[in-house]
Amino acid sequence: MDLHIDDVTLVYPDGESTLTAVDAVSLEVPAGTATALLGPSGSGKSSLLAVAGGLTRPTSGVVRIGGDVVFTPTTTPREATRARRDRIGLVFQQPQLIASLTALEQLELRAHVRGRRPSSARDHARALLDAVGLAGLEHRRPAQLSGGQRQRVAVARALVGRPDVLLVDEPTSALDHERGTQVIALITSLAAQEGAATLIVSHDASTLASVDTQAVLRDGRLATADALR
150 binds ligand ADP (CB under 6 A): no
Q: How far is CA 77 from CA 60, 63, 73, 118, 217, in A?
A: 16, 15, 11, 27, 27
39 binds ligand ADP (CB under 6 A): yes
Alpha-carbon gap, residue 107 to 95, rounded angstroms? 13
110 binds, among Mg ion, ligand ADP, none (CB under 5 to 8 A by kind): none
Q: Using the minimum distance from each CB to ligand ADP, give the nearer residue, 21 or 131.
A: 21
Q: Using the minimum distance from each CB to ligand ADP, give the nearer residue, 141 or 203.
A: 203
Alpha-carbon gap, residue 127 to 135, rounded angstroms? 9
172 binds ligand ADP (CB under 6 A): no
CB of 10 to ligand ADP, least distance (A): 8
CB of 103 to ligand ADP, least distance (A): 28
Stretch that binds ligand ADP, among 44-52, 115-123, 152-160, 204-212 (CB under 6 A): 44-52
- The answer to whether 196 and 31 have CB atoms below 8 angstroms apart is yes
Binding-site member from 47, 149, 151, 214 for ligand ADP (CB under 6 A): 47
21 binds ligand ADP (CB under 6 A): yes
Alpha-carbon gap, residue 165 to 178, rounded angstroms? 26
43 binds ligand ADP (CB under 6 A): yes
- The answer to whether 90 and 53 have CB atoms below 8 angstroms apart is yes
- The answer to whether 123 and 146 have CB atoms below 8 angstroms apart is no
42 binds ligand ADP (CB under 6 A): yes
171 binds ligand ADP (CB under 6 A): no
User: CA geometry: angle at 25 spanning 174 and 80, to 5°?
Assistant: 70
* Total count of residues recorded for the chain: 229
From the number of C-beta atoms within 10 Å of its C-beta (0-12, 13-18, 19+), residue 66 rates as: middle
Stretch that binds ligand ADP, among 34-42, 111-119, 146-154, 205-213 (CB under 6 A): 34-42
115 binds ligand ADP (CB under 6 A): no
The site for ligand ADP (CB under 6 A) is made up of: 12, 19, 21, 39, 41-47
